[in-house]
Amino acid sequence: MSFYGDHVLPRLLDLLLRSADTHDLRAQVASGLTGEVLEIGFGSGLNVPFYPAAVTRVRALDPAALGRKLAAGRVAASPVPVEYIGLDAQRIPLPDDSVDSVLTTWTLCSIPDAGAALAEVRRVLRPGGTFHFAEHGHAPAADVKVIRAQHRLEPLHRRVLGGCHLTRPIDQLITASGLTLTALKTYYRPGPKPTSYTYEGQATNPA
């Protein structure tokens, strides 16, 4: 990664994504996590305070080494042990059927091949395991002006925010991986509509 990607972007994302208006959403998405959890896009550990008591261990995966330093205080204060396992969600270094839950928040937008990452999520999830997510992505078809703005802004957005796409249809990517959507809410969060259309929900790995 570049100096910007290694040293500037992790700090910028920590600042942008730690606002108080994300707390309720993080708590909602993390609720229901159990047992061995893989968090993809662990970053600066902003989800750590919201892990429920049923979580026994978290395997953390993130491409930015600086995130570990930014997360150190949150990890140290957590009763849940956190183990860093790798950098690349497209090649998760875990055995098949080895985790009970997977968590992502504002992560699938920036993985180069989100489909490959979701295929890996399905591989490492135990049958019946759950995938919990909150992601931004492609606006609904009826919002033509928003979609046009997303396509105009996306090249700049990707350069500034580490490859972050605005136009990924998160629900379609999840179902294409073979996971089964069991809960989905879509809505605009506060802020500019091209960057705030949200997919929040859960999916399971079929037995």
Domains of the chain (ranges; CATH) run 3-204 (3.40.50.150)
pTM value? 0.95
How crowded is residue 141: how many other Cβ atoms within 10 Å of its Cβ?
7
Give CA separation, 88 vs 4, 101, 107, in Å. 18, 18, 12
Q: At what angle do helices 66-77 and 9-17 cross, to 10 degrees?
A: 40
Per-residue pLDDT of the chain (207 residues; tens, 9 = 90+): 578 877 888 898 888 888 888 999 999 999 999 999 999 999 999 999 999 999 999 999 998 888 899 999 999 999 999 999 999 999 999 999 999 999 999 999 999 999 999 999 999 999 999 999 999 999 999 999 999 999 999 999 999 999 999 999 999 999 999 999 999 999 999 999 999 999 999 999 998
pLDDT in tens, 86-138: 999 999 999 999 999 999 999 999 999 999 999 999 999 999 999 999 999 99
Question: Rounded to whole angstroms, how far apart are CA atoms 143 and 77?
Answer: 43
Closest residue by Cα to residue 195 from 159, 160, 154 = 154
How crowded is residue 99: how many other Cβ atoms within 10 Å of its Cβ?
23
Helices (H), 83-179: 114-124, 144-160, 170-176
